[in-house]
Structure 1
Amino acid sequence: MVSGLEPGMRVVVRYLLPTGQATDALGVLLRADADTLVVDGVRGIETIAVTDVIAAKEVPPPPAPRRR
């Protein structure tokens, strides 16, 4: 499920919260091992248990800001 992801990639990770609801973490993957993923995103650094991950993939860089 999380194979192929390397630190430094921009990723989106969908995972389950303790309440059972799903949420996403979007940002740069800082670390990935057999037990956890660490993503630095908009909400700060998130440590996610691999057992809670529903899906994960690399995503392209954010679009450039629009000019006014």
Structure 2
Amino acid sequence: MPYVNIKITKENVTSEQKAQLIEGVTSLLQKVLNKNPSTTFVIIDEVEIDNWGIAGEQVTIRRKKEK
């Protein structure tokens, strides 16, 4: 029973894009590991960019510096 947790920043990801991620991950597990899609769980967590850090900085701050 595979369980996959995808964490992405919360930035206008559409329902259709999320559906594609779920379908793609499920299909990949079936093809590569022969896992049953009916028992494969895919969870998508959207994280605010203030709560996501890279190299010791919030994504919010890093993006402001890039501009």
| TM bin (shorter chain) | under 0.3
Which structure is higher in helix share? 2
Which of the pair has the greater relative contact order for Cα pairs under 8 Å at 6+ separation? 2
Structure whose CA Rg is larger: 2
Which structure is higher in strand share? 1
Scaled by the length of structure 1, the TM-score of the pair is: 0.27
Scaled by the length of structure 2, the TM-score of the pair is: 0.27
